[in-house]
Amino acid sequence: MSVPSGEVERTVGHISTIPIDEGRMLRVDGHLVAVFHLRGGGVRATQPWCPHRRGPLADGLVGGTTLVCPLHARTFSLDGGEAGPGEVGIRIYRARVDDDGAILLTLPVDGSLPACSDSVPADAPPGPQAAAAPFAGERPGQGEGSD
């Protein structure tokens, strides 16, 4: 698969680590993304936090290509990021699974990920994944790169 000019693919994990119809928060180049394993075998990747109340999107419910925020049941399309009428959508990142099961995410060459992907909000509720996620318990100023 060809990567557009100005973008690069990064491996963020293996498909076997995400159960079907579930999501996980994963790190890529120091940023968090929510990655979802769809029933048909595909993957989708989004910004990590709901734009409404910053709920952890990886803990949301997945049905087909629809994601439901775990805090207030806001719905988003995992294909384009669109939300319900009158709601703010979410950022979607191109993702795919290679022949070996690696999840590849397409990012800008400069590595920047917009849409509040840099840190766990201080007021973010702990989700059911907190114990299993590679960033469990981190808050801004903790974890990678902190003193």
Q: Is residue 19 part of a domain?
A: no
Report the alpha-carbon distance of residue 60 to residue 102 in Å, rounded.
22
In which residue are the tokens 């099961």 written? 101
Residue 91 lies in a domain: yes
Tell me how many domains the chain contains: 1
Whether 139 shows a pLDDT value over 60: the answer reads no
β-pairing, 31-37 vs 22-28, is antiparallel
pLDDT band, very low/low/confident/very high, at 77 (cuts 50, 70, 90): very high
CATH number of the domain at 29, please: 2.102.10.10
Between 33 and 108, the higher pLDDT residue: 33
In a domain, 8, yes or no: no
- Judge whether 61 lies within some domain: yes
Report residue 112's pLDDT band, with 50, 70 and 90 as the boundaries: low
Q: pLDDT tier at 4 (50, 70, 90 boundaries)? A: low
Percent of the chain with pLDDT over 70: 72
Does residue 118 belong to any structural domain of this protein?
no
Is 41 a residue whose pLDDT tops 50?
Answer: yes
Identify the domain containing residue 93 by its residue range: 24-108
In a domain, 86, yes or no: yes
Which pTM value belongs to this model? 0.74
Quick one: CA dihedral 105, 48, 70, 125, positive or negative? positive
Residue 147 lies in a domain: no
Q: In sequence order, what are the residues at sequence separation of 6 or more whose Cβ sits closer than 8 angstroms to the Cβ of residue 106?
A: 3, 4, 7, 8, 9, 93, 94, 95
pLDDT at 94 over 80: yes
Of 23 and 110, the structure prediction assigns the larger pLDDT to 23
**55 in Cβ contact with 69 (< 8 Å):** yes
Please give the Cα distance from 139 to 119 (Å, whole number): 7
Q: Is residue 129 part of a domain?
A: no
